[in-house]
Amino acid sequence: MNVEYINPFINSTIKALTTMCSLKPQRGKPFLRGSVPTKSDISGTIGVAGEAMGSVTVNFPQEVALKMVENMLGLQIDEINDDVKDAVGEIANMVAGGAKGELSEKGYGFKIALPVVCVGKSHYTAYPKDVPCVVIPFILPEGEFTVEVALKINGKN
Amino acid sequence: MKVIVIDDSSTMRRIIKNTLNRLGFNDIIEAEHGLDALTKLDGVDLIFTDWNMPEMDGLTFVKSVRGSNSYKNIPIIMVTTEAAKEDIVEAIKSGVNNYVVKPFTPEILKSKIDSVLSTL
């Protein structure tokens, strides 16, 4: 997968968390997920269809998700509730939507679906075997989170 | 001035509502999607709507409002993650007065409101 397709997701993730949550994540080095899944406590997935096909998933440990919502809404929350689920879905939306804007300028148009949010201690997302999944790690004082980009661009991996 | 905020995300409705409160808007109602909003437009002076929503999406909602005798002149600001230029063009062609891409700052929202209000 070309870095051209990954950078827009890095940019949109940093922009979403900086603007909406007043958090400044440091990005780590992206890597191919391979056979070791990325585990999280809450994740938001957006399906993508068009010249790019697949999905984009944001994965958060509970501590990061709670901090994010605290900053977004000014609420003190102790556990993952409906507010946290909704906020994670909206962050996934902003990550995919922001990247869509950048990618469409490079000539790759696609549509994004409504977010699906999954909750569960140390769960992970399974992807089709023929779609490579690039994991982008981000670091915050509260912990690490990841964005997984599993896309085929114009039918290519 | 009565405002309606339409978004399937309760988080976004709350953020937009809080921002509007700080800007002096106090008469604010909410709807979860376009279909829900169409039943709540009596007396509304300004509409904020998301694009991607279940039941009725924002674009279909905007076209319905613009095709209605009673509500066709209400200014509409679309607040959405759809950031591609062609999406913005499509929304404007459908009758949206202004467009805010999520994520946004309170300052951006204010400038778009000012811009819409200045044309009334």
Task: Return the pLDDT at B86.
Answer: 87
Mean pLDDT of chain B: 94
Task: Return the pLDDT at A37.
Answer: 82
**Chain B nearest CA to A7, separation (Å):** 16
Does residue B9 sit at the A interface (CB-CB below 8 Å)? yes
Nearest to A54 by CA among A42, A63, A62, A45: A45
Question: Distance (Å, rounded) from C-alpha A74 to C-alpha A110?
Answer: 34
Question: Distance (Å, rounded) from C-alpha A8 to C-alpha A96?
Answer: 9
In B, minimum Cα distance to A17 occurs at B103
Whether residues B81 and A89 touch (CB distance < 8 A) is answered with no
Q: What pTM was computed for the model?
A: 0.91
| Beta-bridge partners for A59 | A43, A146
Is residue B92 predicted with pLDDT exceeding 90? Answer: yes
Question: Distance (Å, rounded) from C-alpha B87 to C-alpha B99?
Answer: 10
CB atoms within 10 A of CB A12: 25
**Chain A nearest CA to B71, separation (Å):** 28
Per-residue pLDDT of B10-53, as tens digits, reads 999 999 999 999 999 999 999 999 999 999 999 999 999 999 99
What is the share, in percent, of chain B residues with pLDDT greater than 70?
100
Q: pLDDT band for position B5 (50/70/90)?
A: very high
- Residue A15 CB partners (closer than 8 Å, separation 6+): A94, A98, B103
Task: Return the pLDDT at A36.
Answer: 78
ipTM of the complex: 0.86
Task: Return the pLDDT at A4.
Answer: 77
Is residue A155 predicted with pLDDT exceeding 90? Answer: no
Instruction: Provide the sign of the torsion angle of the four alpha carbons A18, A112, B12, A43, taken in this order.
Output: negative
Q: Among B12, B53, B104, whose Cβ lies nearest the Cβ of A90?
A: B12
